[in-house]
Amino acid sequence: MTGPIRFDDGYEEPDQLRDQLRQLFRYRLFIGLGIVLGMLGGLGFSVFGSDSYTSTGEVVVQPISIDPFAPGGVSADKQLSMGTEKQIASSATVASMAARKIGEDVKPAKLQRDLRVSNPPETQTLRFEYTADDPERAARLVNAFVEAYLEYREDSAKKRIHRTATNLKKELEPLIKQRQELDRQIAAAADGPAKDADQAERGSLVTQISDLQSRISSYQSLDTTPGQIVRKGEPPAFPSGPGLPMLLVVGAIVGLVGGILLAWVRSVLEPRVRSVADVQANLRAPVLGILPTHPGGQRL
């Protein structure tokens, strides 16, 4: 018993993927329409969308030190943590100071939304980037944030130094009074063991006083310069968003995907059969013959 006779028409390919692509390209109009609409959308976004401008400022952060150029470097307790500096630069306190510098009564959270602070790897540099709808405003705000950060950092350092020096002076005052009292006792006492003991105690006090005075002097001589501005924010000449060519390319790609999706849906909902495989799938029976197409293009 012979099996069912099967004819392969000129449209059918053994590769299923090619067959699906062939079915999609029957609806080239949908694909072309999707590309055109996508490019028109990109053009409309470029024309009617609001441009954004990004201005950049950079600061080299300097650690607190008596001599920042000393061969020994900076002590461990004064080393910089750039992660902490980034958090300080983007904090609400610095944002409030920046708002006061530009003379605007605006909430810090609103200014923080458009600020980006980064730290290039292996550097002590903070990069401030501010995005606004106006180039002049972007430059003004990024410079305000840079100045506010430096001012906050210098004020914080001076307050810490003043607080530490004040505490050391409080420790120093009773020692000086005790030394003055011993000086009076030594001047009035006669030679003997009591005077020798007072002189020994006075020598110990002088050592403690000298140590405290040296520490106070070292704290007061600390360099509180917070850093140096190496790049000042300038009004950008061009928007920071993608340009028209990029928007057209992205729109064309999105439109192509949408057009292919529409073509696929249309091919799935197509009620007509176009190949032997479609006939066999719908009738669940073999195809015994095919009516040929006239060379002139007219069907029989």
Burial of 113 (0-12, 13-18, 19+ CB in 10 A): exposed
pLDDT of 157-183, one tens digit each?
888 888 888 888 888 888 888 888 888
- pTM of the complete model: 0.62
* CA distance linking residue 75 with residue 233, whole number of Å: 33
pLDDT digits (tens, 9 = 90+) for 178-199: 888 888 887 777 777 777 787 8
Q: Tokens 């009004």, residue?
A: 235
In this structure, what token pair is assigned to residue 260?
A: 């292919």
The pLDDT score that the predictor gives to residue 45 is 62
The tokens for 175 are 């020692």
Residue 192 CA to residue 162 CA, distance in Å, equals 44
Rounded CA separation 258/274 (Å): 24
Nearest to 267, CA basis, from 103, 90, 32, 22: 22
- Closest to 137 (Cα-Cα) out of 238, 58, 235: 235
Rounded-to-integer distance, Cα 165 and Cα 163, Å: 6
Residue ranges for the chain with pLDDT beneath 50: 1-3, 5-15, 67-77, 300
The pLDDT of residue 89: 93
234: which residues sit within 8 A by CB, 6+ positions away?
Answer: 55, 139
| Rounded-to-integer distance, Cα 243 and Cα 166, Å | 58
Nearest to 61 by CA among 44, 95, 96, 86: 86
Q: What is the pLDDT of residue 9?
A: 47
